[in-house]
Amino acid sequence: MKKSERAEIILKELKRLYPSPPIPLDHTNDFTLLVAVVLSAQSTDKKVNELTKDLFKVADNPEKMVSLGITRIYGYIKQLGLSNQKSKNIYLLSKLIIEKFHSQVPNSFEELESLPGVGHKTASVVMSQVFNIPSFPVDTHIHRLSQRWGLTKGDNVIQTEKDLKKLFPKSEWNKLHLQIIFYGREFCTARGCDGTKCLMCRTLYPNRKKKFVSKKP
């Protein structure tokens, strides 16, 4: 089966399973989504949602976040991994948004990636979900599934993103990255499927007998 044929099967099945995938991180506006995505690095969306529920009640814009200060921000998110650095980043990016961007979340990759704690993947999520600009955020889960499904041979998320963008129509990118995440969580988990168990893996590689080992980014 050609790579393009696998891509067609994947797109069709994911559209059937997840026609309107929701954004998994709870938020109330552009700013709170940006903060939630920054906090989600090396943490689960579920845990982030638990902690930001209280944080966003008191700080749902950059001015209120700055007024909290680093120590109080840390108090809300201390259960997350890298919480010390994340507290500083959230405070500093809020301050920068006020001073440089007139309290508005910027809408370009260059400007977003100039903010503390915001890398390309985080910027891609914001561009995709806030501004509806075609982007293909690739995290470690999408990277893993893309390898399992034979969509990339890249050993890093940057190469995987390039390969996925070549394979799938631009109009599908914003939904597709969420659809892949939801499928991976529900059917093709890191431990629950080894490349031979879930329906997608069996369909794409019916003759695969051995466990598929992904290259970690």
The residue from 2, 15, 57, 139 that is catalytic is 139
Residue 107 buriedness (CB in 10 A; 0-12 / 13-18 / 19+): middle
Beta strands in 159-198 (DSSP E): none
DSSP structural state of residue 192: T
Q: Report the C-alpha gap between 148 and 184 in whole angstroms.
A: 11
Q: Of 111, 174, 108, whose CA–CA distance to 137 is shortest? A: 174
The residue from 46, 60, 88, 121 that is catalytic is 121
Query: Is 216 a catalytic site residue?
Result: no
Query: Is 121 a catalytic site residue?
Result: yes
Q: What are phi and psi of 104, to 5 degrees?
A: -110, 140
What residues are labeled active site? 121, 139
